[in-house]
């Protein structure tokens, strides 16, 4: 080969190499702009779906695929999980090597926690549920009936039926981190080649932030716009109620929960319940307290009684069905002023025989209904025609 021929051959190889490099770059991420200024082979984000209150997730769009990120709500720079949704058969983008790849459209999914069912119900997507856990704790009557008709599978409770989950072959399983088994469940599902999606809505402590996770669930079905419309209605109603409660001159004092195994788990000031109480115009006695256990305080009975003996209202939020049961649990409970004046309320008006509370199933996504209940309890004159939805007054 002559020097001239070699130079020509070398030039051809260079051109081919450049072309291959361009093809690989385009294939690796269809989302990047074709402009001269952006020659990087990294993905270029085109848009993000607006998230107004929630801190724990984001939804970003690239050309041809979507990225859903779950973050630590306290430190949003910390990514806990990431999901890439793209049409089945489309090459995976190179920039998200640690993300879970999910084919679209989503087929059937499995719900471990009841609050995930509520989100799907609001979006009209119950037909996408292939299996559920803890059936006895599910309040949604339609889902329970579908289980009884064998149209939705029962995948167990504390010990999941992994054989049934494999048989169902879902697009993914909605999980809740440490709340339902955490890494242990995830590792087991991974070993069975079953994908899981981490939903940490319960970690958000602002009521509207927790409700906004409806958009997170919707994003796996391309229903973000519909979810946003539903959320805006909830937000508008919630903020109007909150504004109404600001007009009160006096705020009743209150405390929450009931002792469990000699420990009184009281919400701290950052807690979800404390935020709801404040927005409803209540004076929560531990509103300035810092957490000692997650977002709760571990208190002994004497400490609670010393501070709340003369409180106006007791939000029991437990499994006591009557004033008699509260007294039977501990005779000292009858010494609280709220007990004597029969101002004790529980959020178990909508529950299942096995102890499943709709308050925790659908209430997180309908904080406006919860707020209306609390305003009626604290300031009935503000909502004279309201009927309690989640709460009831104990007798």
Produce one character per residue of 170-183: b if its CB has 16 or more CB atoms within 10 Å, e if not: bbbbbbbbeebbee
Strands (E), 282-395: 283-284, 296-299, 313-315, 344-346, 392-393
Write down the CATH superfamily of domain 248-393.
Nitrogenase molybdenum iron protein domain (3.40.50.1980)
pLDDT digits (tens, 9 = 90+) for 163-195: 999 999 999 999 987 654 557 888 999 999 999
Whether the CB-CB separation of 175 and 154 falls below 8 Å is answered with no
pLDDT more than 70, % of the chain: 88
Does residue 96 have a pLDDT over 80? Answer: yes
Residue 367 neighbours by CB under 8 Å, 6+ apart: 207, 208, 210, 211, 234, 238, 276
42 falls in which pLDDT band (50, 70, 90)?
Answer: low
Q: For the chain, which residues make up each domain, given as ranges?
A: 47-231, 248-393
Residue 163: DSSP 8-state: H
Torsion sign across C-alpha atoms 219, 220, 223, 229 = negative
12 falls in which pLDDT band (50, 70, 90)?
Answer: very low
Asked, colleague to colleague, whether 47-231 and 248-393 share their fold, the answer is yes
φ, ψ at 204 (rounded to 5°)? -70, 135
pLDDT for the residue 184: 84
pLDDT digits (tens, 9 = 90+) for 109-136: 999 999 999 999 999 999 999 999 999 9
pLDDT digits (tens, 9 = 90+) for 157-171: 878 999 999 999 999
Which strand (E) or helix (H) includes residue 70?
Answer: strand 65-71
User: What is the distance between the alpha carbons of residues 366 and 369, in angstroms, rounded to a whole number?
Assistant: 6
Higher local confidence (pLDDT), 109 or 12: 109
What CATH number belongs to 47-231?
A: 3.40.50.1980
Produce one character per residue of 110-132: b if its CB has 16 or more CB atoms within 10 Å, e if not: bbbbbbbbbbbbbbebbebbbbb
pLDDT for the residue 178: 64
Does residue 32 have a pLDDT over 80? Answer: no
Measure CA of the first residue to CA of the last residue in the chain; give whole Å: 101
User: What is the distance between the alpha carbons of residues 390 and 348, in angstroms, rounded to a whole number?
Assistant: 6
């Amino acid at each position: 080969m002559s020097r001239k021929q070699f130079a020509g051959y070398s030039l051809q190889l260079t051109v081919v190499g450049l072309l291959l490099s361009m093809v690989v770059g385009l294939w690796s991420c269809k989302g990047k702009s074709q402009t001269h200024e952006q020659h990087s082979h990294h993905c270029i984000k085109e848009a993000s779906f607006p998230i107004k209150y929630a801190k724990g997730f984001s939804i970003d769009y690239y050309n041809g695929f979507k990225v859903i990120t779950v973050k630590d709500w306290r430190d949003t720079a910390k990514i806990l999980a990431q999901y890439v949704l793209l049409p089945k058969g489309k090459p995976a983008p190179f920039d998200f090597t640690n993300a879970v790849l999910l084919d679209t459209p989503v087929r059937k999914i499995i719900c471990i926690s009841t609050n995930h069912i509520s989100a799907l119900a609001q979006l009209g997507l119950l037909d996408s549920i292939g299996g559920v856990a803890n059936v006895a704790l599910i309040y949604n009557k339609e889902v329970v009936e579908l289980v009884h008709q064998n149209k939705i599978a029962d995948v167990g409770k504390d010990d999941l039926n992994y054989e049934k989950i494999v048989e169902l072959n879902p697009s993914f399983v909605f999980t809740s981190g440490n709340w339902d088994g955490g890494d242990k469940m995830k590792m087991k599902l991974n070993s069975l080649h079953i994908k899981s999606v981490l939903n940490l809505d319960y970690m958000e402590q602002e009521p509207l932030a927790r409700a906004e996770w409806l958009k997170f669930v919707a994003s796996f079905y391309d229903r973000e716009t519909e979810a946003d419309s539903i959320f805006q209605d909830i937000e508008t109603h919630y903020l109007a109620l909150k504004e109404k409660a600001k007009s009160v001159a006096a705020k009743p004092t209150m405390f929450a929960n009931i002792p469990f195994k000699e420990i009184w788990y009281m919400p701290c000031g950052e807690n979800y319940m404390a935020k709801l109480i404040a927005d409803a115009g209540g004076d929560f006695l531990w509103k300035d307290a810092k957490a000692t256990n997650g977002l709760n305080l571990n208190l002994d009975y004497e400490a609670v009684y010393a501070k709340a003996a003369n409180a106006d209202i007791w939000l029991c939020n437990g499994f006591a069905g009557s004033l008699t049961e509260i007294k039977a649990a501990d005779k000292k409970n009858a010494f609280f002023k709220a007990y004597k004046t029969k101002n004790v309320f529980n959020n178990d008006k909508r529950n299942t025989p096995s102890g499943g509370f709709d308050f925790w199933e659908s209430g997180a996504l309908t904080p406006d209904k919860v707020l209306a209940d609390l305003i009626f309890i604290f300031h009935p004159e503000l909502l004279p025609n309201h009927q309690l939805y989640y709460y009831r007054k104990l007798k």
